[in-house]
Amino acid sequence: MGSALAVAVVLAALIAVLLGVSPAALVATLGARFGPYAWGQVLFRATFLTFTGLAVALAFQAGLFNIGAEGQAVVGSLACAVVGAGLAPLPGVILLPAAVAAALAGGAAWGLLPGWLKARFGTHEVINTIMLNFIALAGSNFLMTRYLALPETVRTADVGASLPRLDNLVPGLHGSAVNASLWLALAAVLLAHAFLHHTAAGFKLRAVGRGLIQARTAGIEPGRRIMLAFALAGGAAGLVGTNFVLGYKHYYEDGFTGGIGFLGIAVALVARNEPLGIFPAALLFGFLAEAGLVVNTLLPREMVDVLTGAILLAFIVAERLRRRGGRDLLGGRRPNRAGGPEPPGAGAGPVLRGAAP
């Protein structure tokens, strides 16, 4: 990751220079204006990205592409707001867990759908999840305008209880939106790690992700693992609702997701799909976004997107080079091509075998 970052920094400097801005001025502005409030905002964004990054990473561990974190986040957040407002008279100690559970369940349900389709019919999850994103967004819009939004507004009713902002704890963060759902995000990451690496169910999930045929031959049914992976992933994305609805606005309105689902893919990639790497990666992208705002006067905000893309590209290339240096991960059986790296011990000649049924 270090070299990828270095490349990104160089690229940022290059872009700045091309746009007539001195990198030194950028750094100075950042240093001057990036105060505790900004850090609070970084944490706030990182909370979102941790949830969606986890949503993508968990699915990837099972060999699945979850492009639907956006839609899963919407469904989870909407469920969270509806339950939170619907149970309003109840005390917080009941209402909050119920709302969190609703966020989890809503996202999980929306994730289970493509999971089931894949397990039952073998349909490709990329297509399913992307389409379900559209359905979620449109569906939410419909439900809001027809049933759920308060009259004359575009938002739902207030929830009965909320998660406290962290600036109660750390006064320096005053005004920033980071709230107690940050703890939830960290807990989720730790739980995900424990699940993947220390439970039998997590082991089977990873096995299916690394070798579906081998796992099936050894007796593991892939279908159930796929559905579990997607349910967990969807649930993680749904927890986004705790940050937005319970911790920040206290209601739900359309459009807040604004691409965090897709940015979650970037986070998962940089974290190499390991839960423990998700939070640092989320911090990175959160920082980029906030820094973009801070130096807004000097550099257009869109440059943040350019930088994000640059980092991703650099990272992917670095990963490739790192892998190529060692053995081919899949047992080293590749067709003979002049000059290509050859695996040792292939004494019986090149074996061009496709995956057996």
Partner 1 sequence: MALATRGGARAPEVRLERITKRFGATLANDEASVRLEPGTIHALVGENGAGKSTLMRILYGLLHADCGRILIDGVETPILSPAQALARGIGMIHQHFMLVPVMTVLENIALGAEGLRGLRALPRARLARELAELFGHYGFDIDPQAHVADLGVGERQRVEIGRLLFRGARLLICDEPTAVLAPPEVRAFLTILRRFRDEGRTVVLITHKLGEVLEVADRVTVLRGGRVVGEMEGAELDRDALVRLIMGDAGAAPSRTAAAVPIGAAPSRQVQRAANRGEQPMLAARELTVRGAGGRVLLERVSCAVHAGEILGVAGVSGNGQGELSAVLAGRLRFDEGTLQLGGCHYSAGQLPDAWQRPALIPEDRSSEGLIGPLRLWENLLLGRTQEAPFLRRGWYTHRAARAWARPQIDRFSVTPCDETLTADALSGGNQQKLLCARELLRGRRLLIANQPTRGIDITSTAFVHTVLRDFRATGGSVILISADLDEILALADQVAVLYRGRLGAAAPRADLDVEALGRAMVGLVAARRSSG
For position 350 contacting partner 1 by CB under 8 A, the verdict is yes
Q: How far is the CB of 339 from partner 1 (least distance, A)?
A: 7
Identify any residues that bridge with 165 across adjacent strands, giving them in sequence order. Answer: 179
Site track for partner 1 across 181-200, x = CB under 8 A = ----------------xxxx
Residue 323 engages partner 1 in binding (rule: CB under 8 A): no
- Is residue 347 exposed (0-12), middle (13-18) or buried (19+ Cβ within 10 Å)? exposed
Asked if 333 contacts 351 with a C-beta cutoff of 8 angstroms, the reply is yes
Complex with partner 1: residue 301 or 320, whichever CB lies closer: 320
Residues 212-251 that bind partner 1 (CB under 8 A): 213-221
| Interface with partner 1 (CB under 8 A), residue from 33, 155, 210, 224 | 210
Instruction: Give, in order, the Cα–Cα distances in Å from 314 to each of 106, 255, 308, 323.
Output: 35, 30, 10, 14
How many residues make contact with partner 1 (CB under 8 A)?
Answer: 48
Question: How many other C-beta atoms are found inside a 10 Å radius of the C-beta of residue 344?
Answer: 7
Residue type, 107: G
- 20 belongs to the binding site for partner 1 (CB under 8 A): no
Q: Closest distance between partner 1 and the C-beta of residue 190, in Å?
A: 14
CB of 249 within 8 A of CB of 138? no
Of 44-52, 109-117, 281-289, 327-335, the window that binds partner 1 (rule: CB under 8 A) is 327-335
Kindly report the backbone phi and psi dihedral angles of residue 24, in degrees, each rounded to the nearest multiple of 5, phi listed first.
-65, -40
> Is residue 145 involved in binding partner 1 (CB under 8 A)?
no
Q: Which of 35, 258, 259, 341 binds partner 1 (CB under 8 A)?
A: 341
Cβ neighbors of 120 (< 8 A, separation 6 or more) are: 223
The Cα–Cα gap between 60 and 57 comes to: 5
For partner 1, the binding residue among 91, 92, 309, 343 (CB under 8 A) is 343
Number of C-beta neighbours around residue 161 at 10 A: 19
Work out whether 346 is an interface residue with partner 1 (CB under 8 A): yes
Q: Please give the residues from 285 up to 314 whose contact with partner 1 meets the rule CB under 8 A.
A: none
Residues that bind partner 1 (CB under 8 A): 197-201, 203-204, 206-207, 210-211, 213-221, 326-333, 336-339, 341-353, 355-357
